[in-house]
Amino acid sequence: MSDGPNRNGFWRAGIVIWVVMLILTGTYLRGREIYSTDTDWFVFLRLGVFGGGVVLTAAAFRERFTGGAATRILAVYLATLLASFLATTSHRIVLGYLLLTIGGVGVTACLVQRCRSREDFLTLERVWLVVMLLILLKDVLLFMSVSEEAEGIEAQRLGRDISSPALMGLYAALAFWLASSRDVVRRWFVRWPSMVFLLYVVVASRTRVIISSFLAAAGIRFWLSCRNAVVKWLLVPSAFAIAVSVTVVSLGSDSDSTSGVAAWFNREQDAESLKTLSGRLDIWNSAVTMVGKDMRTLVFGYGYGATRYYLNWQDGSPEFYASHCHNAFVEHLFSTGILGAVAFMVIILVSFRWLTRFQENAEAYSEGLALRAVGVIVTLVLSCLTEVPLGGRINPAALLFFFYLLALDHAPASEEIPALSDEVLDEVPV
């Protein structure tokens, strides 16, 4: 951990820039045409802030740089994004998204490297949580003020036409794992209202994959922390199997023949629509087909962040609109090719060390932080099956993921009480 004289300066500047990054990427501040590539005040603002993050990162790493396996594979991943920039024909678009990602990852790495104690890690978690609570509260109030005239299930999903229901549900799910921890939120009269509010956002967003990922993460967290062998190896797996069976039956049933809960969960979509995952199978098929057109796109993709400018155009006209591939793994294959897709999968495998080495991490960091990391990692990775919280545009969920990923290389210094010396023991009266 860095103990140099510039530690506090880099720490404070990094937190300020990190907060601004969370705000600029976590909520919509202005509208824009779907296919627009024009630059406006908001684009310049984001580029300026994230460019400042790159400068801060370079200055901080010039003073001190350390890293382990997670840091190295993350550097390789960023190199594959750079390769997609060199190979694409949309250099201006890809360069902008590349700068945002490098700036976001760099500032996060700068902060993690300067975490000298468990309290420093808690500080960053609290900062992320406070910013996201304020963003979600703003978006919920804004949605309520304009949704009174909306009709239909889709229009009434929390965040529709204001933000993104899926992203709002995801941010709330991730924030819940932080807000529910007594280490992060010590006052019960703050913790419990925050948890209730975040649960409301998760449910009201009506995003199936987010709700399912959230419940799966809850089960895995309980299983890892459970010390009763019967509950851990019999009751928990049985409950999980029942939950999966009910979900499969619910998704495969027609809304007219299911219960009110299932119809609500399916958003009143018919069985035919559910079998195609609301059209996602068509998007995946189109994306994979386009990637295999030539060797350049197969290896390097169409360019990081440029998916919506290529995916929607077939034979010169858009047959449908999708801003991303609705699967983080397919998204990486489409935008960064095989190189980026492989690097992304390795990053996911490295992040699973929070699960596979849970006891070791609980001793090194604290059980609370290890459980929060498990909740975030599981929720994020499972949501990647039908959404793109990782690998598309940089966002607060990705910044939190990089925080926990990089934390694997920087366990806090031991805070145990040091042993008494022989001289001190000699002075202790018997």
> What does the alpha-carbon distance between residue 102 and residue 96 come to, in Å, rounded to a whole number?
10
Residue listed under structure tokens 């994004």: 81
In contact, 111 and 11? CB cutoff 8 Å: yes
> What does the alpha-carbon distance between residue 304 and residue 344 come to, in Å, rounded to a whole number?
13
| pLDDT score recorded for residue 153 | 55
| pLDDT score recorded for residue 203 | 92
In sign, the C-alpha dihedral spanning 291, 297, 300, 305 is negative
> What does the alpha-carbon distance between residue 343 and residue 273 come to, in Å, rounded to a whole number?
33
Instruction: Give the total residue count for the chain.
Output: 430
Q: What are 376-396's pLDDT values in tens digits?
A: 999 999 999 988 889 878 999
Where the chain has pLDDT below 50, the residues are 1-2, 4-5, 255, 257-258, 315-318, 415-430
Reference 326, options 394, 385, 248, 403; nearest CA is: 385
What are the domain boundaries of the chain?
7-148+269-412
- All residues at 6 or more sequence positions from 371 whose CB lies less than 8 Å from its CB, including other chains: 177, 181, 221, 224, 225, 362
> What does the alpha-carbon distance between residue 86 and residue 102 come to, in Å, rounded to a whole number?
15
| pLDDT score recorded for residue 61 | 80
In contact, 338 and 299? CB cutoff 8 Å: yes
Report the greatest alpha carbon distance in the chain: 90
3-state SS string for the chain: CCCCCCHHHHHHHHHHHHHHHHHHHHCCCCCCCCCCCCCCHHHHHHHHHHHHHHHHHHHHHHHCCCCCHHHHHHHHHHHHHHHHHHHCCCHHHHHHHHHHHHHHHHHHHHHHHCCCCHHHHHHHHHHHHHHHHHHHHHHHHHHHHHCCCCCCCCCCCCCCCCCCHHHHHHHHHHHHHHHCCCCCCCCHHHHHHHHHHHHHHHHHCCCHHHHHHHHHHHHHHHHHHCCCHHHHHHHHHHHHHHHHHHHHHHHCCCHHHCCHHHHHHCCCCCHHHHHCCCCHHHHHHHHHHHHCCCHHHHHHCCCCCCHHHCCCEECCEECCCCCCCCCHHHHHHHHHHHHHHHHHHHHHHHHCHHHHCHHHHHHHHCHHHHHHHHHHHHHHHHHCCCCCCCCCCCCHHHHHHHHHHHHCCCCCCCCCCCCCCHHHHHHCCC
| pLDDT score recorded for residue 392 | 74
In this prediction the pTM is 0.87
In sign, the C-alpha dihedral spanning 398, 400, 402, 408 is negative
The first and second tokens of residue 82, run together, are 């750079």
